[in-house]
Amino acid sequence: MSAGALIICFGPLGRLVDAMAAVQRLRQHNTHERLTLLTVPNLAGLAKASSLFDDVSTVELWQNSAALRTLVQALKKRRFGRIYDLERSARTRQLQKAFGMFGPPFAGAARRSKWKLDRVPPHPIDADAALLDVVGLSGHMPSPGPGPEGRWLLRRRAGAPSLEPAFFGLERDFILLNLTRDDEGPRWPNAHFAALGRGIVETGMGCALIGTIADRVYAREVAQIDVRIKDLCARADYYQLAALGAHASVVIGHADGAARLACAAGARTITLHQGHEDANAHAPRGAGAVALVTPSLEALSARSVYDVLGMFKAFERSKVAKR
């Protein structure tokens, strides 16, 4: 008897958030199919909380063939009816090959996939949607495809004091600056983040920096420009990031997992991209998502971004509060 379908997505955070759009579509069309996610340990809690998966299995990414064989043997014992490869990486191609001739049928981009995606769209959400079209799910998805619905993030711990902006010392209208970049692409210069932060607090708005532990070095440089800029890098968990984004006037900065998480929860997000190719591959998808595309991030001035914030009325509530 089949154990249902296995979905593979090793992350990072933004990739898992994007993948949830495809899983939500699977849930709508295969309400009785058991769905198991294979992911890395640090994303398991978020995946379980989403209620999209019947089971979540974790694995440390293998570093040698012995570890890969052990994983394949364990997965074979589960007797999955099919495997959705939402990772579509060299690692999952290696995994598919290790199953041999008699493994479960794969849906992915690898050569021996039963349902093969011949042309992989640049954005993961579009690629996932195209893959499900190839599998034969009804309801052909338009391109660009919609992002995931993530308001459940706000309901999981609704009413908890730790989800309120005041928990982080943000007691009035505020804007979040997102410093993290998931990939190795160009960054918006730290000096520009600092100048933007100063411009924000001078309007009377609050300003906070979000990012990972690795971004603390950037955050310190920005926060020292003005004591009113708060450094929240590595201080907020997934639910707090989603709640802060939903409370914020806008989340602006790089298009990483935190931006996708906030966007899925309903936040207005403005992400900065060097060229349309970067935006087409990495911009969050959602009703509140805006991609600001420029030929050069380095040449994009803080004043220009400040003006964009004004165009989207990011400072409006602060003006009302002052009257």
Give percent of the chain with pLDDT exceeding 70. Answer: 97
- Tell me the per-residue pLDDT of 260-313, one tens digit each, with 9 for 90 and over: 999 999 999 999 999 999 999 999 999 999 999 999 999 999 999 999 999 999
Specify the CATH superfamily of domain 161-322: Glycogen Phosphorylase B; (3.40.50.2000)
Name the pLDDT band for 1 (thresholds 50, 70, 90): low
Spell out the SS3 assignment of the chain.
CCCCEEEECCCCHHHHHHHHHHHHHHHHHCCCCCEEEEECHHHHHHHHHCCCCCEEEECCCCCCHHHHHHHHHHHHHHCCCEEEECCCCHHHHHHHHHHCCCCCCEEECCCCCCEECCCCCCCHHHHHHHHHHHHCCCCCCCCCCCCCCCCHHHHCCCCCHHHCHHHHCCCCCEEEEECCCCCCCCCCCHHHHHHHHHHHHHCCCEEEEECCHHHHHHHHHHHCCCCCEEECCCCCCHHHHHHHHHHCCEEEECCCHHHHHHHHCCCCEEEEEECHHHHHHHCCCCCCEEEEEECCCCCCCHHHHHHHHHHCCCCHHHHHHHC
- Tell me the per-residue pLDDT of 212-229, one tens digit each, with 9 for 90 and over: 999 999 999 999 999 999
Residue range(s) in the chain whose domain bears CATH number 3.40.50.2000: 5-135, 161-322
Question: What is the topology classification, in CATH, of domain 5-135?
Answer: Rossmann fold (3.40.50)
Q: Whole-model pTM?
A: 0.93
- Tell me the per-residue pLDDT of 78-102, one tens digit each, with 9 for 90 and over: 999 999 999 999 999 999 999 998 8
pLDDT at 20: 98
pLDDT at 318: 47
Q: Rounded CA gap, 27 and 124, in Å?
A: 18
pLDDT at 322: 40
pLDDT at 94: 96
Q: Is the pLDDT of residue 142 over 80?
A: no
Over residues 51-58, the mean pLDDT reads: 97
Residue 8 pairs in a beta bridge with: 38, 85
Q: Is the pLDDT of residue 2 over 90?
A: no
pLDDT at 317: 65
Whose CA is closest to 186, among 272, 260, 123? 272
- Within 10 A of 151 (CB to CB), how many other CB atoms are there? 11
Name the pLDDT band for 320 (thresholds 50, 70, 90): very low
Q: Rounded CA gap, 312 and 44, in Å?
A: 35
